Structure 1
Amino acid sequence: MELHNLGFDHWFERQLPTSLQKGCGVARVCAVDRGIYRVRNGSGEIPAELAGRLAYTLKSPDELPCAGDWVIVSYYNDDAAALIQQVLPRKSFLRRRSPGDSRAIQMIAANIDTAFLVQSCHFDFNPNRLDRYLAMAADGGVTPVVVLTKTDLIDREDLEQKIALVAAMTTAEVIALSTVTGTGWEALGPHLVAGQTACLLGSSGVGKTTLINRLVGRKAFETRAVSGTGEGTHTTTRRQLVVCSQGALVIDTPGMRELGLADAGEGIEAGFEDIAALAARCRYADCSHGGEPGCAVAAALQNGELAAQRYANYCKLKKESAYYALSSLDKRKKDKAFGRLVKAVKKRKDR
């Protein structure tokens, strides 16, 4: 398989150094699992590990190779294994704050053309989480497509209501499909172009594994039943890139319920297109939507054009992103100040 079939285009060619050292080549990271890598080149897929020099010079975890990255590797063991020497710049990416650590960034995938934001119409339909996925895609310059699965488990009226709700949140295309009836699958075709890369994002149990098995044209991954409470089971434990039957590339990801946003200010604005459009009509360019005269956002909230819950989600994500953007020193100062406030309140209560 040629590199261009794996997504290597002129943009990436321009990121290469003037010349490569003897024994080195370009490959794409196709699997990451707890620090263990697999890369794919024109000859096939081989195991890889970080070169010591690269591991020593990395400044933060988000600089580590992730699924979809293009890397320069040096081969050994008769080209049966490789050392990752350099990670090429990323054209686009999907990232989140590392679970349990508000200061670290976790890369989900890189060099993605389309993000399929998968939500089940049964238990897992969650507009609040979808807001975060949309902001995440906008933050990394990835085109989102909302995919509603398991449409056979609800009636037509309920499905139309869910589609209308999503359409009110975003201008992204909405695809409703069912693996049981086969409806909706043809709508995925235009987004699965040979040499382009898509990524599946969604919680466990929404049908990502079933979806990717059908796209690949074989049972590449095991599926498991969803519990009676709607909780999914993690069937995908690593991020990996696979080639579909029509030549498109798809990165599958483990189910994610914790989606802390990194510094995604512009991504949030793009993810909340309706609120951004309203804000553009405010009397003052620096309107905080907190009571200023001529505020279009406040007017939309009052007349019902903008749902209060959606605006609350917007404010929450803006605040979360702004906090993450603070320097580590400012964060420590803010945390200490909050700690002093809590202690002061407790002292007053004890008197």
Structure 2
Amino acid sequence: MSRPRPLVPRGDPADTVRVVGEFGVIARVLARSGTAAAAEVGPGDDAAVVRTPDRRVVATTDVLVEGRHFRRDWSSAEDVGHKAAAANLADVAAMGARTTALVVGLACPPDTPTSWLEGVATGLADECAPQGAAVVGGDTVAAAPGSTAVVLSVTALGDLGGRAPVLRSGARPGDVVALAGRLGWSAAGLAVLRRGFSSPLAVVSAHRRPTPPYAAGQVAADAGATAMCDVSDGLLADAGHVAEASGVVLDLDRAALVRACLEPVGPLQQVGSALGVDPMAWVLSGGEDHALLATFPRKARLPEGWTPVGLVRPGKRGAGVRVDGVEAADALAAVGAERAGHVHFG
């Protein structure tokens, strides 16, 4: 493993938010924001106007706080933009929808280099472009006096394309639990960075720029998925949300998870061996990969990109998550994990 090199921008001290001013910052950021196909009125007025062919709007918001969700010495500005967009686009995908537009709020210290904000805008635009989406508006404000942290709030709008939204509450006993995307990579990358290293690059890059399977959400909805969620806080934690909302038990198959997430042998095992961690701990409790977890009727044919990893069982003794029939807490203890996933106020 190699030591990381600082990614904090140096920049021209005269080219900061304080010097350029709000409208100067906005102009520079918008120059890199791209174009949303659904935008009838883009940035420049009091509000944007976005077409809604479906006549329904999927809306979601994520807030990224420097020091908690990203660090400027670990991630480039472009990385932060990609990550902020991905968190929202994945939530929209988990409803079976496609993102059409983003609105961004930013609070930053006055000495923040404008080049850094331009980098964030580039990352946002590049992550959104394949979806035909872009930033269509937002706001900027100075951080609280004395604060050195950047706060980035992103709201995404999405279109269902005539589909019914796939909720967390639709799982039924007998359904198949399936996974699209990868698990544990971002958590492994975070573990590497926390120890002062920057390799293997595969897992570090996964933490800096997650790669959610956006298209899998619409495909799952078309295939009859009964419930779905974005795995942002950890597999067991987010599966628990589905179980609770549906009043069922999601019984995950450990062998299937190993096949889906740890075979063939690769970076997760390499990092686990180097750090003395069972990589299954990252698979079960690691967040920010933004994989999608869904349930499908047992006789349904799983669409391409989806892998079966368990079954839905009746919640006679209460809703919850198990691994091979074992309660989640015991499954976590067996792999040395302390929590089922990210705790936002822990």
TM range (shorter): under 0.3
Q: TM-score, normalised by structure 1?
A: 0.27
Decide which structure has the larger Cα Rg and report it.
1
Q: Which of structures 1 and 2 has the larger relative contact order (alpha carbons within 8 angstroms, sep 6+)?
A: 2
